[in-house]
Every structure is written in C-alpha cells, then in structure tokens.
Amino acid sequence: MDLQLPAELTHAQARACAQALSAQIAAAPAGRVDIDASALITFDSSALAVLLDCRRTALAAGKSLAVAGLPAGLQSMARLYGVQALLAPAAAAQAA
C-alpha cells in the first residue's frame, strides 16, 4: 500500500496526520506499506514522530514500512536523532 505525506507536517497537523495514516496502515493488506514523503515542504521534528508512529503501527500489525522521498532537512533530523535506519528508503527496504 502506498501512502503520501502532505506538503505541510508540523506540530499543528501531526496528530490528525498520524491518526489518518495509522488507520490506513491498519486497513492495508499484509505486506509492506510505503510512505512517500516527497511532497513535504514545510515540516518540523513532528514529521519524524508521525513517521515513527506509522512504523510502530505497521510493525504491530505484522507489516513492514518503508519511507521514500524524505527531504534533505528531514533526513538530517533523522540522522541527528539516530532514527535514519528506522525510516529506510523503499529501495533499501526491498534489498534487506
């Protein structure tokens, strides 16, 4: 299943976005869930929290999660917080 992050994902949108994505992940068929983050333009560290919540939801449902298209700034934040491996790009997740 392919999901898309919105253009803006800050603290103001985080709760609603996480709830919507979690519901979609829970309803997805077994297998891998891909999240495309390439539309993100405006974001803060809440975007990472949403993605990590999606990962937890997917794993709890026996699914894997791969994130593609992380903007450079969000990639930097993920490295800074030490969570970049948890949000592996889809290509890397397929190879693993």
CA-closest candidate to residue 39, choices 9, 80, 1, 75: 9
Instruction: Give the sign of the dihedral formed by CA 80, CA 68, CA 41, CA 10.
Output: negative
Q: Which residues form the domain of 77?
A: 2-95
pLDDT at 59: 93
Per-residue pLDDT at 89 exceeds 80: no
List pLDDT tens digits, range 11-63.
Answer: 999 999 999 999 999 999 888 899 999 999 999 999 999 999 999 999 999 99
Structural tokens at position 85 = 């491996």
The length of the chain is: 96
- Whether the Cβ atoms of residue 10 and residue 42 lie closer than 8 Å to each other: yes
CATH of the domain at 13: 3.30.750.24
In the chain, the number of structural domains is 1
